[in-house]
Every structure is written in structure tokens, then in C-alpha cells.
Amino acid sequence: MSTAVRTRIAPAPSGSIHVGNARTALYNWLFARGRGGTFVLRIEDTDATRVSDAHIEGVLEDLRWLGLEWDEGPEIGGPHAPYRQSERRDAHRARAEWLLAEGWAYRDYLTTEEHEELRRRAQATREPWRFSEWVRERNESRGDEYAADARPYTIRFRVPEGRTVSFDDVVRGSVVTDTRNIADFILLRSDGTATYNLAVTIDDVEMDITHIIRGEDLMASTPRQLLLRDAMGVADVPVFAHLPLLVDSSGRPLSKRWGDVSVRNYRERGFLPEALVNYLALLGWSYDDRTNIFSLHELIQKFSLERVGRNPAAFDVAKLEWLNGHYIRARSPGDLAADLVPFCERAGFEVTSPDARVRLDAVTPLLVERLKRLDEAPEMIRFLFEEDVTPDDKARKVLDGRADYLSEVVDVLDAVEEWRTETIEEALRRLAERLELKPKKAFQPIRAAVTGTLVSPPLFESLEILGRERTLIRLRVSV
């Protein structure tokens, strides 16, 4: 095994990458980057019913959006190509046949129904190892007959009896498994495709992976993979680190069954990549009790597997929104305005013409303290980009019975000589004082008439950006 650090992420794309897989990718990437190592992307795409080229492209796009560029893998290549599991089938099949010839595996001709019968017997005796013994006996006693009938078969690994398999996990500590608790497992399906355990073991060995950092849900497969390495004569054992599960607020494993938890979903909801990366890093890892904000460069410097905890990590959207707000406020106005363009276009209005872009650039600094997500912005600023506004229900209630007041507002604003935030505010405050109106009573009807909502950027700045003519037209419509 290479002495240089080599980590990998091996998603099986069936859509956008799950945030749990993204967290795993991040930890692998940080560990490799912090030690001058290599980060490998390998695609597990043998299940053609679930994986498509579009799904694979989506995973690549999500990882790049997060800033997790790979050193070897699809579209880049490398010395251990190919990096798509479907293109490595010949190597998987050849190794399965070798294990068969060496006595480490056997052909299993039994049907699903026959396996269920034996499994029920094993469960009844409370001795799981008997399942493997019975499968072997049935195949050995009737194997020639099954072969003559051209029965389909799988290739199954012969788990050695009377052994223990142990490994030291950086997160979990020492893990010891008795082989009596490991049933003979399938290496090659009847269609000739490799199972996860065979493919991942061969690929990790051939790609010289030194550190296997993955979710704890895969820890049960580790003893099987170590048995395979031993059977293949691979002496070097990688460093294992099994990461804590991500759970929701109720403690349930974070799953698509409980909502959309894909990276693409958070992109579309207006989370910045810096915020999502920062948050994912904190899900299971911490540097100290005080620091929550980390740049990618700081994470590379500070990340270590020894600081990853064992307990499940709760995915808290409110915490993610808080972090996102921090990164929104840190964004330059020009960059933030550019970030808002696709969200505005998705909301149905155009912000890229010269005149519209001037308005967008002007209003963006007014939004930073109000935004937790970028997708909140379009409805706040729609009034600046559409000719007509229709007051929503709350705005209509505020406008009810205020026609006479708004008529006076029109007269006051029409008399403002220089249309600037300061002169607009001065004129409207003088009117409120004269009519003895508190600010909310004085300014909410103006906001409702001009923007169609009660949630918008600061009023006086908004009126300046909207312009005198359009402001007065909307006020007159409400009179």
C-alpha cells in the first residue's frame, strides 16, 4: 500500500447527492488535502435501473459546486482508471473466478425460495452459522445435478470458521467480529455482476486507497471486506473511520422518506456552498466549543479524524440558515446580486437588462440583513421589476380606509424636488408629524400600495430605487 494518503468517495448516483454522502465526501477531501494526499472519485454505477448518465453528471456538478474537486476520477482520469464501476466488471469477474479456483468461494445454485427455507431453519436454531453450512452441503450434494440442468448460480464466499476479524477504527475504536456471525456472502450475482463487497474491495485495493472514511451504516460490511483482502493475499489494511449517522430533529436517520435532503435541494433553496460546507463539517466534527465559522482553507488546516465523535449528528436547518445568513452578509454586493439572478428568473421576472440590473445592484445591499436564504429575495423585490403590483391579503387590510391619507402622500411626494432617500424620508416624516401618526401607521400603507406586501427592503430606499413616476402611479391606483 502506498505511504501517501489516498482517500475516496464512491457514490451510487440515483439522483442528486444526499447531504450525508456530501459530508462523507467533504471529510475524505479535507483529510486528503490536509496531508498532501489524493482524493479519488469513483462511481458505483452497476445498477443500471437506478443510475443514469444524468444522475452521474448531477453528482459531479454538486461536488464541484461544493468546491470538492477530485484528483482522480471521471472527466479527469488517472493512473487507476477506469473510475466507473461498470467499466471494471471484467476485473471483478476475474477475481471471483480466482477465488472460486482457490477454494475461497463456491457456486451456489439454490433458488431464492430454497434460501428462505434454510434461513428460516437457521433462525429457528438461533445459530446463524448453520445457514452457511447448510447452503454448502446442499450445493455439494446436488451441485453436479444443478450444473447439468444449467441452473443459474451465484458465486458465494466461503467464510472461514473459528476465526475472529478485528480492526481499529479511528472513530469507533477496536471492532471484533466472530466469523460464526458472518454468513457466506455473494460475490458475483447470477447475471455476472459483482456485489458491493467484492467490487469495493477490489477497487480499493487496486486504487491503493489508504484511508476508508465512510458512514457507520457500512461498518457491518468491513469484516467481510477484510476477509476478502486476506483471501486475496493483500497484507496491507487501510485505516478505517466510520462516521456517525445524520439524524433529523426527532432522532430518525436522515432519509428522503423524511423530506428532500439532497445537495441540489439546498442549492435551489438558496444556500451558499460556503455555508453548506461549513455546516456539513460541523456534523460530527468539532475543533473547539467556541468556533462555528470555518473557511474551506481553515477546515483543511484544522480537520482531523480524531475529533470526529461517535454520536449521531442532528441536521438542524435553523443552524444552517444562521450560517447561511453569515455568508450572505459577508458576500460583496456585486457577487450577491449575481447570486440572486437565477432565483429572480426562476420567480418569473427579468433582472439582466441594463436598467433592471441597475435596480438589482441598488437593492441588493438593502437585503443582506433580511435574508437567511437567497430564495427569499425575489418576493421582497418583485415590485421593482414588474409594472403592476397586486396587494396580498395583509397589504389589502392595511390599505382599507386609507385612500384619503394616500392622496396626501401623493401630494407630498409629488412636491419633492430631488428624488433621493433623504428627501423622501424627510417629506414623509413631516407628513406623519403633521397628522400625528406613528411610523407604522404612517409608512405601512405606503409600503402596501407601492410593493403589494408588508415585507420589503427599507421603504425610503425602495422608493428611490423604484423612481418617482412609478411610485406615484402605484399610490394613485390605491387612492
- For 31-53, how does the pLDDT look when each residue is reduced to its tens digit (9 = 90+)? 999 999 999 999 998 776 777 88
Q: Where in the chain is the domain with CATH 3.40.50.620?
A: 1-79+244-319
Q: Where in the chain is the domain with CATH 3.90.800.10?
A: 91-188
Architecture in CATH of 393-477: Orthogonal Bundle (1.10)
Of 82, 76, 47, 49, nearest in space to 60 by CA: 76
Rg of the chain over CA atoms, in angstroms? 31
- Looking at residue 20, its amino acid is G
Architecture in CATH of 331-386: Orthogonal Bundle (1.10)
Between CA 353 and CA 357, with CA 354 as vertex, the angle to 5 degrees is 80
pLDDT at residue number 2: 57
Tell me, what DSSP letter sits at residue 76? T
Catalytic residue, chosen from 256, 394, 397, 440, is 256
Are 151 and 138 in contact by the 8 Å Cβ rule? The answer is no
- For 132-161, how does the pLDDT look when each residue is reduced to its tens digit (9 = 90+)? 888 888 888 888 888 888 889 999 999 999
Does residue 256 carry a catalytic annotation?
Answer: yes
Confidence of residue 248 (pLDDT cuts 50, 70, 90): confident
CA distances from 479 to 227, 404, 449 (A): 82, 7, 9
pLDDT at residue number 89: 94
Domain 91-188 belongs in CATH node 3.90.800.10 = yes
pTM: 0.92
User: Residue 1 pLDDT > 80, yes or no?
Assistant: no
Distance of alpha carbon 109 from alpha carbon 186, whole angstroms:
12
Segment 334-348 shows an average pLDDT of 96
Q: Where in the chain is the domain with CATH 1.10.10.350?
A: 393-477
Between CA 250 and CA 253, with CA 251 as vertex, the angle to 5 degrees is 120
Of 394, 390, 366, nearest in space to 464 by CA: 366
Q: Which residues of 360-376 are buried (b: 16+ CB within 10 A; e: fewer)?
A: bbbbbebbeeebbbbbb
pLDDT at residue number 297: 94
Architecture in CATH of 1-79+244-319: 3-Layer(aba) Sandwich (3.40)
Q: Where in the chain is the domain with CATH 1.10.8?
A: 331-386
pLDDT at residue number 461: 97
